[in-house]
């Protein structure tokens, strides 16, 4: 009897252990862009789950049981950090009760720790409104940040899964080479864009604007997270009269009503720009994301 | 199908939160239905939210005790107001409740127009998510529920109209933060609706059983189908309530 039990239960287990497991690390990603980056660096060594989809506003999330279950089994969590996920990540980490992925542990990777952050306040003063003490968290729209973050993430993968360190090193070297070539190409194409004026919906494009030397003329949200008021929209219209504005931009999850309202009155075109991997055609990976961003912006330059 | 998430340590705290909400809301709901003041919970929850916003505009700490006191105080002010209006003009009480709801909701937006602190707390207060419940926050809520139930089932008759509104304000303020406004409304109204033709004892028993079964099946379904738990439970509550009403109407016509 014991022998049969041994055969049924233990043998398959030994058998499976003999082969390298298909996925060595289970990765929980807060946003699609980090899931995509992890895929570039880890290939099929990683079992990657993204908590949010490209069509979703990452500031808010609906609690599903599977989110807790996934995080409970994860070896590594990759998030933007800088308070972007403040509304749901702390409570999700607590509910997961997974010691490996708590802040400060090797299994917790906050991408913003490795990026150049913009708009970091000199002093946090509550009278200034909703100040992000860590700076603007929408870091993924500058490919130079992606380069820095990928280097740090590659090191993290090597230390969490040392048996495959060579594999991760190779994949990173390959990714980094292709990425830097692409940055040169994008910089070349983007020369025509310098100085282009944008009206944005939410102030989530500052990294793109900084990288490409665009101009942010105004934001439809008077303050982050506050919907546009009539008075504020009127002052935006005034700004458009006085300054050269080429485009009004929003993300897929933001309402088109305010951007269309401004567009109808000012005759400045309003478009959706992809803000991560996956929201629109052609943005299946990080390369495609920046290709598409430049394609759209170049379409609207005179 | 997603069997991973079918785990007592993931779904358990949410289920306990549901039981706490049901404990007070099932008896309160029968009363609300009898008086025909269905939307009172929306108005009271909205007043609680307004309290938190007001606290933040005054520069108080919007987390912890101060916010809770502000929320309960605002909800109590709302309920005192409603007690008074019911006495003065009871025939239009439901319309006044509706008016209070939109005033509190748009009052919150006005206060936030130049001060967005508290915006998130305002939202949190109304869209509490059942899966985020943990034993740490359930403790105080359990104490409040027990006190409310003790008063309800012992000396409610002596408290009169005002007592009802006060107990109601406290219960809703607590439960809305645990499970959100949709689940509070559904837990209050749907079990009471399905058992409205039954006597007190049978009505309460069946309403409790319906609520417990709906929270249980809703949580399990949301785990299996990988859907947000709160909205799924609203639907299981409604589905079971329809089934129970159908059974009762059938047995009545036999």
* Residue A57 shares a structural domain with residue A96: yes
Number of residues that make up chain B: 254
Percentage of chain A beyond pLDDT 70 is: 89
CA atoms lying within 13 Å on the CB side of residue B240: 25
Pair A25, A70 in one domain: yes
Say whether both A33 and A102 belong to one domain.
Answer: yes
Regarding beta strands A215-219 and A247-250, do their DSSP bridges make them parallel or antiparallel, or are they unpaired? unpaired
Are B229 and A63 within 8 A, CB to CB?
Answer: yes
pLDDT band, very low/low/confident/very high, at A301 (cuts 50, 70, 90): confident
pLDDT value of position A160:
97
The predicted pLDDT at position B1 comes to: 61
The ipTM (two decimal places) reads 0.78
Residue A8 lies in a domain: no
For the ranges A151-160, A189-198, B161-170, the lowest mean pLDDT is seen at B161-170
Pairwise CB contact (< 8 Å): B5 & A66: yes
Query: Which residue of chain A is at minimal alpha-carbon distance from B57?
Result: A127
> Which of B59, B134, B226 is nearest residue A66 as measured by Cβ atoms?
B226
Residue position matching structure tokens 């990288």:
A211
Q: For A231, which residue in chain B has the nearest alpha carbon?
A: B113
Domain boundary among A131, A157, A186: A186
Q: Which of B115, B119, B229 sits opposite A64 (nearest CB)?
A: B229
In a domain, residue A125? The reply is yes
Is there a single domain that holds both residue A162 and residue A201?
A: no
Structure tokens at A261: 């309202």
- Mean pLDDT for all residues in chain B: 88
Query: Quick check: is A2 in a domain?
Result: no
CATH number of the domain to which A239 belongs: 3.40.50.1980
pLDDT digits (tens, 9 = 90+) for A46-100: 999 999 998 888 888 888 999 999 999 999 999 999 999 988 999 999 999 999 9
Number of domains chain A is built from: 2
pLDDT score for A19: 41
Task: Tell me how far the alpha carbon of residue B127 is from its chain's centroid.
Answer: 11
**Nearest-CA distance from B196 to chain A in Å?**
33
CA-CA distances (angstroms) from residue A12 to A18, A47, A241?
10, 22, 72
Of A158, A186, A214, at which residue does a domain stop?
A: A186
pLDDT value at position B118? 58
| pLDDT tens digits for range A164-191 | 999 999 999 999 999 999 999 999 999 9
pLDDT, residue B143, reads 94
**Cβ separation B134–A69 shorter than 8 A:** no
Contact list, B11 vs chain A (CB under 8 Å): 65
Are A60 and A82 members of one domain? Answer: yes
Task: From A95, A197, A290, A254, select the one nearest B13 (Cα to Cα).
Answer: A95
Residue A217 inside a domain? The answer is: yes
pLDDT of residue B213: 98
d(CA A270, CA A266): 10
Report the mean per-residue pLDDT for chain A. Answer: 89
The rounded percent of chain B whose pLDDT value lies above 90 is 51
Q: How confident is the model at residue B117 (pLDDT cuts 50, 70, 90)?
A: low
Show which of A145, A164, A186 is a domain's final residue: A186
Using the beta-carbon criterion (under 8 Å), do B222 and A94 form an inter-chain contact? Answer: no
Tell me the chain B residues in contact with residue A70 when contact means C-beta distances shorter than 8 Å: 4
- Cβ distance B5 to A223 less than 8 Å, yes or no, reads no
| A218 and A150 within one domain | no
Do A243 and A182 lie in a common domain?
no
pLDDT digits (tens, 9 = 90+) for A93-129: 999 999 999 999 999 999 999 999 999 887 655 554 4
Question: Which residues in chain A have Cβ-Cβ distances shorter than 8 Å to B13?
Answer: 95
pLDDT digit string, tens, across residues B119-147: 666 776 677 789 988 888 899 899 999 99
Between chain A and chain B, the number of residue pairs with CB atoms below 8 A apart is 74
Every domain of chain B and the residues it spans: 8-248
> Same domain, yes or no, for A159 and A36?
yes
Cα separation values, A45 from A153, A158, A162, A171, B122, Å = 14, 11, 12, 11, 43
Is A20 in the same domain as A159?
Answer: yes
Whether A124 and chain B come into contact, CB under 8 Å, resolves to no
Bridge partners (DSSP) of residue A272 are A250
For chain A, give the number of residues.
302
Residue A18 pLDDT class (50, 70, 90 cuts): very low
- pLDDT, position B128: 76
Least confident range of A200-209, A248-257, B111-120: B111-120
pLDDT band at A15 (very low <50, low <70, confident <90, very high): very low
Q: Residue B121's closest chain A neighbor by CA? A: A87
User: Which domain covers residue A26, as residue numbers?
Assistant: 15-186
Q: Do residue A129 and residue B112 have CB atoms under 8 angstroms apart?
A: no
Instruction: For chain A, positions 198-237, list CB contacts with chain B under 8 A.
Output: 223-226, 229
pLDDT score of B30 more than 60: yes
Alpha-helical regions (H) of chain A: 2-5, 11-18, 32-42, 65-73, 89-96, 143-160, 165-189, 206-211, 230-242, 256-266, 286-299
The answer on A255 and A143 residing in a single domain is no
Distance from CA of A52 to the nearest CA of B (A): 13
User: Per the domain annotation, does A257 fall within a domain?
Assistant: yes
Whether A9 is covered by a domain: the verdict is: no
B138 with A99: CB under 8 angstroms? no
* Superfamily of the domain at B8-248: ABC transporter involved in vitamin B12 uptake, BtuC (1.10.3470.10)
Are A182 and A152 part of one and the same domain?
yes
Residues A172 and A206 grouped into a single domain: no
- Residue (of B128, B154, B234, B104) closest to A87 by Cα position: B128
Contacts of A72 in chain B (CB under 8 A): 10
Quick one: what percent of chain A has pLDDT higher than 90?
71
- Check residue A12 and give its pLDDT: 43
Q: Which residue reads 């989809």 in tokens? A: A53
Q: Assess whether pLDDT exceeds 50 at residue A7.
A: no
pLDDT of residue B63: 65
Q: What is the pLDDT of residue A124?
A: 58
Cα(A265)–Cα(A239) distance, rounded to whole angstroms? 13
Q: Are A63 and B230 a contacting pair at CB < 8 A?
A: yes
């Amino acid at each position: 009897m014991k022998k049969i039990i041994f055969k049924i239960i233990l043998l398959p287990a030994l058998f499976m252990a003999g082969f390298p497991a298909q996925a060595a690390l289970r990765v929980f990603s807060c946003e699609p862009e980090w899931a995509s980056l992890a895929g570039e660096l880890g290939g099929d060594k990683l079992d990657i789950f993204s908590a949010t989809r490209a069509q979703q506003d990452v500031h808010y999330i609906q609690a599903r049981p599977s989110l807790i279950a996934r995080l409970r089994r994860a070896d590594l969590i990759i998030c933007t950090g800088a308070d972007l996920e403040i509304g749901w990540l702390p409570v999700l980490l607590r509910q997961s009760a997974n010691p490996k992925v708590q802040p400060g542990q090797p299994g917790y990777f906050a991408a913003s720790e490795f990026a150049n952050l913009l708009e970091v306040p000199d002093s946090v003063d509550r009278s200034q409104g909703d100040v992000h003490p860590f700076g603007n968290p929408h870091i993924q729209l500058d490919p130079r940040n992606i380069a820095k973050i990928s280097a740090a993430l590659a090191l993290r993968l090597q230390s969490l899964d040392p048996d495959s360190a060579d594999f991760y090193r190779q994949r990173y070297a390959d990714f980094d080479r292709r990425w830097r070539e692409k940055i040169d190409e994008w910089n070349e194409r983007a020369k025509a864009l310098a100085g282009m004026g944008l009206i944005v919906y939410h102030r989530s494009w500052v990294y793109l604007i900084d990288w490409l030397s665009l101009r942010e003329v105004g934001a439809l949200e008077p303050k982050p997270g506050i919907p546009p008021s009539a008075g504020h929209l009127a002052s935006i219209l005034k700004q458009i009269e006085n300054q050269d504005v080429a485009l009004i931009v929003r993300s897929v999850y933001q309402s088109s009503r305010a951007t269309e309202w401004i567009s109808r009155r000012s005759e400045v075109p309003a478009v959706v720009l992809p803000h991560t991997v996956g929201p629109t055609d052609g943005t299946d990976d990080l390369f495609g994301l920046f290709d598409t961003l430049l394609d759209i912006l170049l379409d609207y330059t005179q | 199908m997603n069997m991973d998430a079918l785990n007592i340590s993931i779904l358990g705290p949410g289920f306990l939160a549901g039981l706490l909400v049901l404990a007070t809301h099932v008896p309160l709901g029968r009363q609300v239905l009898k008086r025909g003041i269905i939307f009172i919970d929306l108005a009271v929850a909205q007043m609680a939210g307004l309290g938190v916003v007001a606290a933040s505009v005054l520069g108080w700490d919007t987390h912890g005790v101060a916010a809770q006191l502000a929320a309960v105080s605002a909800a109590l002010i709302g309920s005192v107001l409603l007690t008074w209006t019911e006495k003065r003009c009871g025939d239009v009480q439901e319309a006044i409740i509706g008016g209070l709801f939109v005033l509190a909701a748009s009052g919150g937006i006005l206060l936030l127009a130049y001060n967005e602190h508290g915006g998130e707390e305002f939202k949190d207060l109304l869209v509490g998510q059942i899966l985020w419940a943990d034993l740490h926050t359930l403790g105080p809520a359990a104490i409040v529920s027990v006190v409310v139930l003790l008063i309800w089932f012992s000396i409610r008759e002596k408290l009169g109209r005002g007592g009802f509104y006060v107990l109601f304000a406290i219960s809703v303020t607590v439960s809305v933060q645990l499970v959100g406004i949709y689940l509070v409304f559904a837990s209050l109204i749907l079990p009471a609706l399905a058992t409205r033709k039954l006597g007190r004892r049978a009505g309460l028993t069946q309403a409790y059983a319906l609520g417990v079964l709906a929270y249980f099946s809703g949580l399990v379904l949301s785990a299996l189908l990988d859907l947000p738990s709160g909205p799924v439970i609203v639907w299981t509550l409604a589905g079971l309530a329809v089934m129970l009403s159908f059974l009762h109407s059938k047995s009545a016509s036999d």
